[in-house]
Amino acid sequence: MVQRGVLAVLAVLVSPLAAGAGMQPVGTVTVPPPPGDYHFTALACDAGGGVYAFDGDTIYALQGGAFAPRVSGIQAAAWPGQEVTVDPSAFAVDAGGATAWFATGFSGRIVEVRIDPNLPAFGEAWELKGAALASNYGLAVDPVHGELFVTDSWTADLYHVTRAGAGSLDNRRTFPGAMYGGGIAFTPGDELIVPIATGFAAWPDDDGFPLDLYRFPRQFLDDLVAGRPTVTEPERYATGLTVSGTGFVAADGRGAAYLQGADAIYRVDRAGNLLVLCGDATQNAFDLVGLGFMGMAYDAAGQRLLMAHRAADDQPWRLYAYGLKAGDLNGDGLVDAGDRAPLVQALAAPAAYAAAHPAMIPLIHGDINDDLVFDEQDLDLDLADSHLVVDYRPGDAAPLATVAAWLRAGLNLPAGYWDGPRLRSSAAAADPDRLTALGVLDNADPWLGGRTTFAGEAVDASAVLLAYTYWGDADLDGRVTFDDYDVIDYYYWFPPAAGEAGWWSGDFDYDGDVDLDDYDRIDYAYWFQGGPLGGMAGAGQAPYGAVPEPGTLALLAAGGAVAGLRRGRRGGAGGAVRAAGVSPRLCSARARAFPR
């Protein structure tokens, strides 16, 4: 007998973890203690973002911020006198959220249930008796055609389920060397992922299951539905992986598979690389039967991995979500301005990123260009008119040169102007007067650093600071003053070592030298700057646009003459200034059109 979902809501949403923590709790469900030792909670999602859970004899749906029973009192044949249970990965919902299927405990039965309350057959359930197997198995429904597939746990054979009448099974693939099978999953793109265990470690030391993964392309499904011989062979794309058992399986939109181990979730990318996403991979697979991660599904609409977790059999289970959006490096489910600093930090200072975001995996979230590698090719950020703080661990070398290289790429001279890859600024690129740029310094710099706040953000010494500001603003206070001239003057006469020049030493165009081109930029910005930029001006600093020192005014005429020499030859310009016996700072204050 089946009871339709009329019970009260059983769970409420809980407060999310702090942004960046990776997994975030979504809800909890309290169920009666199971009659036996083995108790599982299975999860499934439809194509529209609907989330469903099967626990005990009830199918739940996540509605209005809470789980509510959708269909209750489901019964199915099992061993005599034994309650029905849900085996690992044996729960699936079709793309439209109309029908669900689940497997019964150890008896190898499939039950089909109508779960859409808007359809006339809502609440009806029946067993596909002709599709029974001798043991429990994985089950998955293809999101494009709605075809149902199962695997036999003991033989690992893959079957197509014909649902007409009492149902029937059609063996579609036998895997060589297979020991047993577990969960299976479809990607949103209709590829079928089938993990196959090629061995069985002896209990209780069974935390080293050898696993192969097979991928069936969409052509396999298209041929089957069209009635063509399914001659398309699967690809064995991962071999000999070592995991602590495998149960529930999910697959994301990028083709990565997620495997439920004993108390760990594994990720296998399209190239077959194994990664422990979360949990303890050293646990014995039989130590936590019914505990730990007990259900898993991929929500294609929300691009998130959903996991059910239970601390004990008689405890409520909690649903966790792990955002998988490429570019969502702070784990808030959005790809927005909040991900800029984590992305740069994860590339420039990975140790500091890992400490601040222990549950986030840069390879997953930062691989924006989807080439299965997280590297600087994924970095293409427009800082516009904002600032950025990149933390690094105290004692580590500041990633200053790395960030400066990305700024040089973004500046993109001479082909463009702040419109290149890596770190660019649309605000600077759109400035008709070309007065602005992106500057950078190390807050540990004894001359320019030492800030406790930067643009309203608390910072310490182990931070690289970036800002949209005027050309020549070496100390990033939002304006060009004589303090900035002190910096470029000093490093002009005492050049930094090779490879150590940058904005912080007066190399404003990031070309590796402190030269007269940099003086051109600071001069131009000094005379034509407006108000302070970015709210970074500190207390006790002189107002912007301060008049030149008296000595500077006296030498403006000489500066005009020297300027002609400086424009003549880059290599000999410095020599011309020295020959005249005039400081570059004193002769540099002049106005001229900045070259476009």
pLDDT grade, residue 502 (50/70/90)?
very high
SS3 217: coil
pLDDT grade, residue 102 (50/70/90)?
confident
* All structural domains of the chain: 3-323 (2.120.10.30), 379-546 (no CATH)
Looking at per-residue pLDDT, the higher value among 544 and 40 belongs to 40
Nearest to 162 by CA among 172, 176, 173, 152: 172
| DSSP structure class, residue 585 | H
Residue 213 has, within 13 A of its CA and on its CB side, a CA count of 31
Residues 6+ apart with CB under 8 A from 579: none
pLDDT at 549 over 80: no
Looking at per-residue pLDDT, the higher value among 58 and 483 belongs to 483
pLDDT at 546 over 50: no
Reported as a single tens digit per residue, the pLDDT across 241-282 is: 888 777 789 999 999 999 887 767 889 999 999 988 776 555
Lowest-confidence range among 438-442, 502-506, 545-549?
Answer: 545-549
The confidence score (pLDDT) of residue 445 equals 97
Reported as a single tens digit per residue, the pLDDT across 60-77 is: 998 876 788 998 877 654
Contact (Cβ atoms closer than 8 angstroms) between residue 445 and residue 474: no
Reported as a single tens digit per residue, the pLDDT across 453-481 is: 999 999 999 999 999 999 999 999 999 99
Mean of pLDDT over the chain? 78
Reported as a single tens digit per residue, the pLDDT across 366-392 is: 999 888 889 999 999 999 999 999 999
pLDDT at 31 over 80: no
- Give per-residue burial for 21-31: e unless 16+ CB within 10 Å, then b: ebbbebbbbeb
Whole-number percent of the chain with pLDDT over 90: 46
Question: pTM of the predicted model, to two decimals?
Answer: 0.75
The confidence score (pLDDT) of residue 447 equals 95
Reported as a single tens digit per residue, the pLDDT across 167-212 is: 999 999 999 888 777 789 999 999 999 999 887 654 444 557 788 9
